[in-house]
Amino acid sequence: MKVKTQSKKVNKAWLNDHVNDTYVKLAQKEGFRSRAAYKLKEIDETLGLIKPGNLVVDLGSAPGAWSQYVRRRLSPQGAATGMLNGQILALDLLPMEPVEGVQFLLGDFREADLLARLEVLLAGRRVDVVVSDMAPNLSGIDSADAARISHLVELALEFSQKHLTSEGALVAKVFHGGAYAPLVKEFKNRFKMVKPFKPKASRDKSSETFLVGVGVKNAPLA
């Protein structure tokens, strides 16, 4: 009973914090599906990554807040609907409600079949920006979690190395812990500029941060 009561208190405290969260309220007001939109917004506004006319790939896109933000950045009027100057390809293991102008693929990025479907949509065109909010289900076992995190980020890195333009960028969610330092090193091996970023919208208690790589080293010729 004590455990159950404590759990209820924890859940109630989390719900209270969530309901009163500034970014949750802002997301509701501005029509974003989650507060995560403001993480990408701050990164993008600071570094100027996403520009009209870009081809952007959103990895781990559900529920769609990052795709929504990108869609507004590629709209001449910054609108959530209407004209779109650019292309957005999104994918996730989980279903995602449609976002106007976004082509969505349902599937596992770790599987060759999904990657092949994504490459068909690319039709040989280079990607300007890859954004990855992919994260594994964490077990609490540090070594296992570090391996799962590393695998997803490495897949995003490999995709970016192959498909980004020479001046393209990758934004990837990572977590502080055993996998962090090796991933930073891998980013530096692959990108000319690497910047860790902890957006204000990322909760203080969360170990998440974002690694941004800009300018692909040894990019393949188009």
Sequence-separated (6 or more) residues with CB below 8 Å from residue 67: 58, 61, 88, 90, 96, 99, 102, 104
What is d(CA 200, CA 169) in angstroms, rounded to the nearest whole number?
21
User: Catalytic pick from 2, 29, 173, 188?
Assistant: 173
Residue 198 annotated to the active site = no
Under a CB-based contact definition with an 8 Å cutoff, are residues 76 and 83 in contact? yes
Under a CB-based contact definition with an 8 Å cutoff, are residues 76 and 100 in contact? no
Max CA separation in the chain (angstroms)? 63
**Where in the sequence numbering do the catalytic residues fall?**
173
